[in-house]
A and B are shown apart, each in its own frame.
Chain A
């Protein structure tokens, strides 16, 4: 039994807690004992990417302190937030200490504290592929259910986790297919989506166009992703345009498979936002 700490991210916590609950079930089925450090809040990436380094450092420090209390793997429900911790925390905190007249020794100490926590961070699919068994046994798969997969930019380029989601889902009889121009950002970009909504939306529309084409070719049941920021942005755009193509977080999809509930009817419930969709199960 592996003890893991769950990093749910602020977006999932507030706007899609079902994705985190699904992740807990998925992990427990695969033999993990899940702990949820309740001190956690937000990784600070919103502030960091907008140029508010002091503000980001405040949140980063808190995050490090919250997860220093744990031991063992930290499973993050976002490639981007995991990327923030792994890629940016050590330097961010190092610089922050120096900027506030700390000594080099103090700066180094924060860097290494951040680094040692960051070394334990896995994005969900990275963690699942590292497990010996992929969990629920599936017999010979004679056909796969297609889903379009949106791989977020930070998961692709900061974590280099480009095939993990497919490796997790393929044995479950789900084929994840990337759209054309998959490497192109969906336009979310944290606060970019609010600071420059016009370009952000043009990118969302370009992404939906490619997702739509791929869905049509492959008969995909929905769009699945591993970053809630991208998904809220894409589904938020779809919702405004009365497009109810289903959008699922990967843990939600995997949980449906585990429970034997994967069907077009169930998946379609993830299309569009209706009152009550966010109520707990």
Chain B
């Protein structure tokens, strides 16, 4: 299935980063909720591993399995397709996002589909599937509570696991009241989280029962058995996979694992690392349609395997990015994410993994500035990643690529160049400090530096700085240890 490599196409918020950033920082509701959510999930991950050593052992095995599966991807996808065919399902390969949308639209048309219910799926966000189906006059409903909320608001998910983390209860109530009046059912009586959830249950229950197509993503593809594994806490994947007559699973090719043994190793990792549970409430494994006259399960099952730039990462230093299990652990620990939330990243993939993955999948055509703008190099993400993806190293490499492509300004590059040249010799280094000391009085007030030219300008937007000392340590040492002789015995 390999063939030529092709850049992926991802949706992008085309507003410049400062605009997205400032909008996020001004949204106190979002910041409070994102902070609470990420802290809770981070604590959950730490706690669940603390008294469950088997989870760590399984994680180590899962990393090896996953790395091997990426290497052997072509063969495994072949095996997966064959197994699905044997069980009566159909497998399609989509090279790019538009290809995938076209495939799903054709399936829907073929089966005369009017109503679609969906589980939460990053891949379908990535290909903007809903828009394509709606264009065909099909009604598409998200059924994950968080996704349902943001679909009502016409917004994008702000966290992989908590898509509506930027919405508070009052906002949700207003959205649901409008939704209720449009669908002619009783609105929620108040803005209690339980009441709001009960409303969504009622509202979506009727849709589940009359939908004719279900669309899911997939957490894992098991090559040996031709299975798609879905993990949810709400139970919506169970309904999406059992009630509609047609089921379409849209899954990235990198989700492939070799066999049932590999599934045993990895199956708990999304829940352990994502939400701090040993297993999510519902793990659903689909391996085939159930046939024509059954009470449950699809009559037809299609799997759309999405490449969209993924195979282009194989054989590169970034290959381990394809091991991502979308647990969100790197988002939860990232200091920048905790401040700005997911939407500021401008891509469906946010946080440290998104900063790396978005430019990589699109061959740097979108959001190439994010590795510079959204990372302090704190290394928290690589510690949190269950798949040991070396995100800081990748962010550094992407920064380096940016420098090589001369993405920065000429003056910035010159600054770094001369800085290094001067400071690579002790004389140049000391001379530059003496020059700074001589010139700094123009930038000082009350004994502190208040502004500075060039690269350092950004610092002084919001911070002061002490001046270069009247006597540096170098100078002090020279004065006290050379002129007066060695004072050590």
Binding site for B on A (CB under 8 A): 8, 10, 12-17, 20-21, 33-34, 36, 38-42, 44, 46-56, 58-59, 61-62, 66, 153-154, 157-158, 181, 183-185, 187-204, 206, 232-233, 236-237, 239-240, 273-280
| A-binding segment of B255-263, B289-297, B370-378 | B370-378
Docked-complex contact A153 and B380, CB < 8 angstroms:
yes
Question: CA A188 – CA B378 in complex, angstroms?
Answer: 9
CB contacts between A and B, total, < 8 Å: 212
Closest CB of chain B to A208's CB: distance in Å? 12
A58-B421, A185-B335 known, 16 other contacts, Cβ within 8 Å: A10-B429, A14-B472, A15-B466, A38-B478, A49-B396, A59-B420, A153-B379, A185-B378, A195-B372, A197-B462, A198-B22, A198-B462, A199-B340, A202-B339, A236-B463, A240-B464
What is the CA–CA distance of A36 and B396 in the complex, to the nearest angstrom? 32
A201, chain B: closest CB distance, angstroms: 4
What residues of chain B lie closer than 8 Å to A40, measured between beta carbons?
426
Instruction: Specify the main secondary structure of chain B where it touches its partner.
Output: helix
Task: Name the distance in Å between A159's Cβ and chain B's nearest Cβ.
Answer: 11
Question: Does B377 lie within 8 Å of A47, measured CB to CB?
Answer: no
Whether the pair A20, B466 counts as a contact (CB closer than 8 A) is no
Q: Which residues of B contact A (CB under 8 A)?
A: 18, 21-22, 25, 39, 333, 335-336, 338-340, 372-380, 382-383, 396, 398-403, 416-417, 419-421, 423-426, 429, 433, 436, 446-448, 455-459, 461-474, 476-478, 481, 488
Decide: B481 and A16 in contact? CB cutoff 8 A: no
Chain B residues with Cβ under 8 A from A191's Cβ? Answer: 455
User: 12 A-B pairs, CB-CB below 8 angstroms?
Assistant: A16-B469, A17-B469, A38-B474, A49-B396, A58-B420, A59-B420, A189-B375, A191-B455, A194-B456, A197-B459, A199-B339, A232-B465
Determine which of B339, B382, B425 lies in contact with A203 in the assembled complex, contact meaning CB atoms within 8 Å. B339
When distances are taken between beta carbons in the complex, the residues of chain A under 8 Å from B425 are: 41, 62
How far, in whole Å, are A233 and B372 apart by their CA atoms in the complex? 19
Q: Name A's interface SS.
A: helix
Q: How far is the CB of B38 from chain A (nearest CB, A)?
A: 10
Q: Would you give the shortest CB distance from B466 to chain A, in whole angstroms?
A: 5
Are B466 and A280 neighbours in the complex by a CB distance under 8 Å? no
B21 contacts A280, CB within 8 Å? Answer: no
Contacts of A62 in B (CB 8 A): 423-425
| In contact, B378 and A157 (Cβ under 8 angstroms) | yes
* B458 surroundings in chain A (CB, below 8 A): 193-197
Residue of A20, A38, A199, A206 ringed by the most chain B CB atoms within 10 A: A199
Question: A17 touching B424 by the CB < 8 A rule?
Answer: no
Residues of A within 8 Å of B488, CB to CB, are: 33-34
| Selected contact of A185 from candidates B376, B396, B400, B465, CB within 8 Å | B376
Q: Which residues of A contact B467 (CB under 8 A)?
A: 15, 278
With A15-B469, A194-B455 in contact, do A199 and B336 touch (Cβ < 8 Å)? Answer: yes
Interface pair B380/A185, CB less than 8 Å apart: yes
